[in-house]
Every structure is written in C-alpha cells, then in structure tokens.
Amino acid sequence: MTFDPTSLRQWWPKPSNPRPIVIFGAGSIVGDAHLPAYKQAGFPVAGLYDPNVEKAAALAAQWGIRAFASEAEALAVENAIFDLATPPAAHAPILSKLPRGSFALIQKPMGSDLAGASDILRVCRERDIKAAVNFQLRFAPMMLALYDAVKKGYLGEVVDFDAWLALATPWGVWPFLKGLPRIEIAMHSIHYLDFVRGLLGNPQGVHAKTIGHPNHEVAQTRTAAILDYGDKVRCVLSVNHDHDFGRKFQACEFRIAGTKGAAYIKLGVNLDYPRGEPDELWIRPEGGSDWVEVKLEGAWFPDAFVNRMANLQRFASGEDQELIGSVEDAWQTMALVEAAYRSSAAPATPIAELPKA
C-alpha cells in the first residue's frame, strides 16, 4: 500500500450558499476562534448578542459586525444559523426561544452535566431544532487527516490510544469557570473523549480520577483515565495542567497505534495558549520504514471551527446527509463524561494488608 500524505483530507467542503450566522455570547472564544474562522471561510455573520451590551459592542466594532440591541433582535434574523457561544447553563433557555425548525451550534459542554445535556436534547427534540455541539476537535485539519488515514487502512486496526498532557493552562482566561464544581473533564478533556468516540466508538466503561492542585482554586486540573474497550484496545489519558516549570518538558500529544502502522499528533494550541505552537501529524504507515510528516494546511484554532460550521451549514442546505456531533451523538459524550466523574468519586479498590507475623 503506497502512502500519499497529500491525499489525506484536511478540510470539510464549503456550503454553496451559507446562511447568516447569529452569535449568542461575546466571550474570548468568540473573538479568538468563531469570528476569525467565519471571516476566513467567508461565512456571513449577521451579528452577535450578549447581555453585557458594552462587551458585545466592543467585540462587534472590532470585527465590523452588528451588535444586536436585544435578544429579540437576534432571534428575528431569518434563515439563520444560531451559534450559542454561551456558558452551559444558558444553552437550554436560549434554545427554547429559537424559532421551531432552526439550526444551531451549541458551545461545549452540552450542559453542565448529564441532566443538563438531557434538558438540551429534550428542547431540541420538542422544537425540532437540528443542533450540533461544538466538539470541534474532530474537525481540526490534523484530526480529519488522521481519521482519513485510519479509514484508508494505513494503520491497520487501531488497538492503542495514548493522550499525554503535561502543560500549564491559564485558567484565568475563562472567568466564568470560577466556582464551578466540574472543570477539567467537563471543559477540557471532554474534547479528547469525544475525539476517541469518533475514532473507536463508545467504550464499555471508564476508570477515572480527576483532582485539583494546591496552588490554585480551580476544581480539577489533573486527570487520569482508562477507557475500557475490552481486551484488544488500550486507551489511556494522562492530563496535567499544572506542569508549570518551563516549556522544555511540557507536552500535549496523542499516540495512536494500529496493527500495521502508527500516528503521532502534537496539539500545539494548548502549549503557550492561546498563542500556541504549530500542530503536527506524523504517520508511520503499513509497510513504511520511517515516520512521514503530514504537512498540515491549518490548525485546531481557528480552522476546526471553519470545518465544524461547514458541516452544519451543508446539513442545513441538504448538501450533507449527516450532522457530525449532533445533540443525539454529543449526549453520549456527555454520558461518558458523567461516568468518568462517577468513577472519580467512587472509592478505590483497597489494597490487601500484609499478613501479621
């Protein structure tokens, strides 16, 4: 099998006639990723709304778009794609006000917990809202290429997945996280759990432990997890956001091994976030004698947001038959997150005591 790295898919096809996008929220993710992505792709943005009127006006002026004066104005845009870049607790209330039959993109996570995700799913079903959750890691150029390499058989059957993170994450960038009881898995590693589901399907279960760090007050910043795929596949995540000792030995990488080949991925954006470093994808394909670098045409931020919105837009127009990461599918990622937190809270299996002499 001849391996051609240039043949691997990195971009989602663009919609022929994109709908106007209405954004709810004016937080850092909107300015750092949503708006740069939509401008790059040529997707029309009708405007944005945030209850903090001054914040919304400042961001809108920066990007030369409209800041809606009221929620009603934002909801009145016809034929819109509604982009909910809002905190988890705000998703269901906004969805309940969208016109019936709307199309929407919901910022991850899908609610604060599984109960919140179920409320969102119920609202979408009741109002016939076709919604996807913004688990956009599946759509990063490096991940689309990896999925394509697996699909084409370059790795054989995937039997091993390792995620290793040892870095320093600036949690203060997201002030709304302060005081929340669930942070690391629910807000960060949820991307990796969703990506793994896209690669390997649903696991049978999960063993996990997630904890904080004595140097700050964020609820959890360190996680170890094993996803149970039976006796053939090993799937492990080791995540430490508190390795704050300089760049030299920090890491943010995946190692995926198959029966015939392997892949290495560097997720550069998390290193020195939000400035980040370049992503990397290397593949040692079946029959290959050395690793081959796949030259990436884009990065997780903001290009995954382009691909994520492209699929939703094309689904709304009928050009795509499948909505990747729909609320129905994303609910299962939330169920995996919930199981991980339950596992973390459960007592560990005690170690037997040494017999007395």
Q: What is the pLDDT averaged over residues 128-144?
A: 98
Residue with tokens 């002030």, as numbered in its chain? 175
Element holding 37 (H helix, E strand): helix 35-41
What does the DSSP assignment read for 225-269? EEEEETTTEEEEEEEETB--S-STT-EEEEEEEESS-EEEEE-GG
Phi, psi for residue 9 in degrees, rounded to 5: -70, 130
Question: Residue 1 above 80 pLDDT?
Answer: no
Give the model confidence (pLDDT) of 86-115 as tens digits. Answer: 989 999 999 999 999 999 999 999 999 999
- Say what the pLDDT of residue 274 is: 80
Kindly provide the residue ranges of all beta strands, DSSP E only, lying in the chain, ordered along the sequence: 21-24, 45-49, 81-84, 103-106, 130-133, 158-166, 205-211, 222-229, 233-240, 251-258, 262-266, 280-284, 292-293
Computed over every residue of the chain, the mean pLDDT equals 96
Is the pLDDT at 175 greater than 90, yes or no?
no
- Give the Cα-Cα-Cα angle 68, 108, 96 (nearest 5 degrees): 55
Alpha-carbon distance 171 to 146, whole Å? 29
Q: Residue 330: is its pLDDT beyond 80?
A: yes
Q: Is the pLDDT of residue 356 over 80?
A: yes
For residue 19, the 8-state DSSP code is P
pLDDT of residue 275: 86
Burial label for 72, CB within 10 Å (0-12, 13-18, 19+), is exposed
What's the confidence (pLDDT) of residue 115? 97
pLDDT at residue number 173: 81
How does pLDDT run across 208-245, given as a tens digit for each residue?
A: 999 999 998 899 999 999 999 999 999 999 999 999 99
- Please give the structure tokens belonging to residue 162: 């390792």
Query: CA 121, CA 95: separation in Å to the nearest integer?
Result: 10
Binned at pLDDT 50, 70 and 90, residue 325 comes out as very high
d(CA 341, CA 339): 5
For the stretch 49-93, pLDDT in tens is: 999 999 999 999 999 999 999 999 999 999 999 999 998 999 999
End-to-end distance of the chain based on CA atoms, in angstroms? 63
Q: What pLDDT does residue 59 have?
A: 98
Q: Which domains does the chain have, with CATH numbers?
A: 9-137+305-326 (3.40.50.720), 138-300 (3.30.360.10)
Q: What span, in angstroms and rounded, lies between the C-alpha atoms of 125 and 351?
A: 47
pLDDT of residue 174: 79
* Cα 252 → chain centroid: 15
179: how many CB neighbours lie within 10 A of its CB? 8
- Torsion sign across C-alpha atoms 250, 253, 259, 261: negative
Query: Across 93-204, where does the E strand assignment appear?
Result: 103-106, 130-133, 158-166
When pLDDT is cut at 50, 70 and 90, the band that residue 172 belongs to is confident
